[in-house]
Structure 1
Amino acid sequence: MTTNKPTADGFRMPAEWTPHERTWMAWPSPNPTFTNERELAEAREAWGAVARAVRSYEPVTLVVSPGDADSARAIVGEDVQLVERELDDAWMRDIGPTFVTNEAGELAAVDWTFNGWGAQEWARWDHDEKIARHVSDLAGTRTYSTRLVNEGGAIHVDGEGTVLLTDTVQLGEGRNPGWTRQEVEAEIHAHLGTTKAIWLPYGLAGDYGTYGTQGHVDIVAAFARPGVVMVHTQPDPAHPDHERCKTIAAILRASTDARGRQLEVVEVPAPTVLEEDGEWVDYSYINHYLCNGGVVLCAFDDPRDEEAAEIFRGLFPERTVTLVDARTIFAGGGGIHCITQQQPKV
């Protein structure tokens, strides 16, 4: 571990669309997110489908709890690398490191403080708070630690100095009580190499439920390229996200990035389903993952799946779009982006 900040050593976080060395994932193991064996089995099938889809584009390393390698291998196949480390949950975007690079061709890792998405009652994180360090050690990188409580799903960068953040995450009482907006921005910038933060007031309504993250940005907005940001929209006024998304889109349209560009906003309509088991869903196509030459896109067996795929084909014409059913992942509190973490190529 180094006592410097990453930016002092020339590091910054590249955009997700830059080439990857590999993708890191974590294998679901028994925990409060999966209340019975059936739910755990369904989760493993869903995580496995994502791992296989990503592996078709780039190498995948899957972290599994000791004793779970056989169950993982049976589902993900022989092409996915397995490493054993103790786990609590399976959201690698949040428990894993955020990788940064510099112009000298070096790779490093940022180890945010992880506390179970704001010390939520159901969460356990004795093992998960150590996963970022384990992954950075396995990748052979130096590690920069910070006392800022943050997760990989709570940030999105354009690779040119701009980062998206959310008031209810970085400034939430469960994560960083006593921190000012300026202090959070300074710590974020020092670790990501960004210079401008665009703050959204909240995430999607469904993300404040039992297993929600309290407003992760990667389910509501994501850069497609510098100057262009995709935003989740809810066309149905019956859903609470209808007004939320209008507000978020308006904020983004009124924003400029670190280079002074007025943001172009591309609206991506939500699936048609509004509720599941009596609760508002936060199903979102924004929670996709960019691989080398591909887009792994959430699907919901919904009439809008293909409409979303066409939007992504237009935004990423050089990439192949692969749809993977994400309903089981969303039932656990996230999507495809939430269970993957890119290691950039240097």
Structure 2
Amino acid sequence: PTFVVDDERPGVLGAVDWIFNGWGAPAWAEWDKSARIGAFVAEASGAERIPSLLVNEGGAIHVDGAGTVLVTETVQLDAGRNPYATRELVEAELARTLGTTNTIWFPRGLTRDYEDFGTRGHVDMIATLPQPGRILLHHQTNPEHPDFEVSRQLREFLAGQTDASGRPFEIVDVPAPATLRDDDGFVDWSYVNHLVVNGGVIACGYDDERADAVAAEILADAYPGRRVVTVPVRPVIDRGGAIHCITQQQPRVGA
């Protein structure tokens, strides 16, 4: 589930239980057991379950804690997920469950994410919000990669957006690793996909010493006071996903 807290009910932990259907009901997916995990974790953690009729996943949203949420048109409005949804309905449900007031609709995700085993555009591969008003954006620097043009388009799109307070975003480019391809085609390796924990940041490492170091420096600047630790992620991403994809923060509530 996506854990939430409510300023008007201190000490109460909420858990938004989205509907899950294997990232848009692709032919290869089976999700009967997976669809029950949100409710199971909510109960195990003692959280108040908040059921939702929206098909959604943790990697499909990012929030700044101050009213802004990042999504992609190709996930929340995916016909395989929410065939009857509109932007207005999705925004209303995100407001109800997450308390957001401003939704940034990215037009798409990374190229590889639209192949058979992709998520159809999870936002956690392209952008995140380390603080209100600031966005870390995946940046493919090599014009030989199709995401070079995708990165350009996404940056151009963001230049016209504002956060929930009406501020233009400070956009921080996070360069991709130098590797362009693996055995299956163009890679979607991203340092934007990381986990923020108490006192630290767990970052993806791609066996690219220079790019890994640059990304760690950018993340250290984005999260002052936190220690950035880079871990090898190739075995994880080869199975589909990265650090943020396989984790979910649980906030502490109460004293």
How does the TM-score come out when normalised to structure 1?
A: 0.71
Q: Does 1 or 2 have the higher relative contact order (CA < 8 Å, sep 6+)?
A: 1
Partner Cα distance (1:330, 1:98) in 2: 22
Match of 2:40 among 121, 127, 134: 134
Match of 2:161 among 243, 252, 255: 255
Partner Cα distance (2:169, 2:198) in 1: 25
Hey, which bits of structure 1, 4+ residues long, moved more than 3 A? none
- Give 1:122 shift: 1.6
Q: Is the 8 A contact 1:155 1:163 kept in 2?
A: yes
Residue 3 (structure 2) aligns with = 99
Match of 2:123 among 203, 211, 217: 217
Structure showing greater radius of gyration is 1
1:170-201 Cα distance to aligned partner (Å, 9 max, x none):
00111000211111111111111000100001
- Give 1:146 shift: 1.2
Match of 2:175 among 254, 258, 269: 269
Q: Secondary structure at the match of 2:153?
A: helix
Residue 110 (structure 2) aligns with = 204
Residue 331 (structure 1) aligns with = 238
Partner Cα distance (2:198, 2:175) in 1: 25
Match of 2:220 among 293, 310, 313: 313
Paired residues, what number? Answer: 250
Partner Cα distance (2:66, 2:72) in 1: 19
- Give 1:278 shift: 4.1
Partner Cα distance (1:316, 1:178) in 2: 38
Structure 1 unpaired stretches of 5+: 1-96
- Give 1:217 shift: 0.1
1:199-245 Cα distance to aligned partner (Å, 9 max, x none):
00100001112321110000100001110000001000111100111
1:307-343 Cα distance to aligned partner (Å, 9 max, x none):
1111111112201111011112111111000111111
1:268-287 Cα distance to aligned partner (Å, 9 max, x none):
00000000004110000000
Q: Is the 8 A contact 1:149 1:176 kept in 2?
A: yes
Partner Cα distance (1:281, 1:292) in 2: 30
Q: Which amino acid aligns with 1:317?
A: P
Residue 42 (structure 1) aligns with = none
* Equivalence map 1:1-346=2 (5 Å): 97-103=1-7, 104-105=9-10, 106-302=12-208, 303-346=210-253
Structure 2 unpaired stretches of 5+: none
Partner Cα distance (1:290, 1:113) in 2: 25
